[in-house]
Amino acid sequence: MTEKQSITGFNVDLSCDLICEKCEKFFDCELPTKKADFFVGRMAQARETLKDIKHKIIIVGGKGGVGKTLLTANFATALAMQGRRVAILDQVFDGPCIPRMMGVDGKGIQLDGEKLEPVEALLGIMVVSMGLILDEDEAVTWFGDMKRNATEEFLTSVNYGKRDYLIVDVPAGTSADTTNVLRYIPDLDGALIITVPSDVSQGVAHKAAVLCQKAKIDVYGVVENLSGFTCPECGEKVDILQAGGGKYLADKLGIPFLGGIPMDRRVAESADEGVPFVYKYPEWEGSRVIHRVAKDIDKKLFGVTEKNF
Partner 1 sequence: MEKVVEIDKLKKGIKELQIDMNCTFHCEACEKFFKCKSPEKLKIFERRRMARVLKVMSGIDHKVAICAGKGGVGKSLFTTNFSAVIAQRGKKVAVLDQDLDGPCIPKMLGLTKEKMVMGDNGIVPVEGIFGMKVVSLGFVATETEIVNWFQEKRRNATEEFLSHVDYGKLDFLNIDLPPGTSSDAVNLMEYIPDLDGMVVVTNPTRISQIVARRATIMAIEAGVNVLGIVENMSGFVCPRCGKEVDVMEKGGGKMLAGQLEVPYLGHIPLDPRSSECSDKGVPYVVMYPDSPASKATVTIVDQILVNIEAFRKEKAAAKA
Among 18, 83, 161, 175, binds partner 1 (CB under 8 A): 175
Range 276-305, binding partner 1 (CB under 8 A): none
Least separation, in Å, of the C-beta of 46 and partner 1?
17
Find the shortest distance in angstroms from Cβ 33 to partner 1. Answer: 18
Least distance between partner 1 and beta carbon 204 (Å): 4
Q: How many CA atoms lie within 13 A of 218 on its CB side?
A: 11
Can you name the residues that pair with 105 across neighbouring β-strands? Answer: 107
183 binds partner 1 (CB under 8 A): no
Instruction: Give dist(CA 38, CA 56) in Å, integer.
Output: 19
Rounded-to-integer distance, Cα 72 and Cα 116, Å: 21
Q: Is the dihedral of CA 91, 67, 127, 287 positive or negative?
A: negative
Q: How far is the CB of 63 from partner 1 (least distance, A)?
A: 5
β-pairing verdict for 237-238 and 229-230: antiparallel
26-51 CB burial, b ≥16 within 10 A, e <16 = beebeeeeeeeebeeebbeebbebbe
CB of 54 to partner 1, least distance (A): 28
- Choice between 229 and 302, CB closer to partner 1: 229
Nearest distance in Å: CB 161, partner 1: 19
- Interface residues for partner 1 in 85-124 (CB under 8 A)? 94-95, 97, 100-101, 108-111, 116
Of 256 and 274, CB closest to partner 1: 274
Taking CB under 8 A as the rule, which mask of x and - marks residues 16-35 in contact with partner 1?
--------xx-xx-------
Q: Does 65 bind partner 1 (CB under 8 A)?
A: yes
User: Which of 74, 129, 156, 179 is in the footprint of partner 1 by CB under 8 A?
Assistant: 179
> Which residues are CB-neighbours of 140 under 8 A, at least 6 positions away?
93, 134, 146
Task: Say whether residue 218 binds partner 1 (CB under 8 A).
Answer: no
Q: C-beta of 121: minimal distance to partner 1 in Å?
A: 15
Give the residue from 244, 200, 189 showing the smallest Cα distance to 222.
244
Is 168 or 297 the residue whose CB approaches partner 1 more closely?
A: 168
* Binding residue for partner 1, selected from 35, 45, 173, 296, defined by CB under 8 A: 173
Question: What amino acid occupies position 66?
Answer: V
CB of 259 to partner 1, least distance (A): 20
Answer yes or no whether residue 241 interacts with partner 1 by CB under 8 A. Answer: yes
CA atoms of 195 and 226, how far apart (whole Å): 9
Give the count of residues interacting with partner 1 (CB under 8 A): 84
Rule CB under 8 A: choose which of 16, 44, 146, 306 binds partner 1: 146
Kind of pairing between the strands at 237-238 and 86-90: unpaired
Q: Which stretch binds partner 1 (CB under 8 A): 160-168, 185-193, 207-215, 294-302?
A: 207-215
DSSP letters spanning 8-68:
----------S-GGG-TTGGG---TT------SHHHHHHHHHTTTEEEEEEEE-SSTTSSH
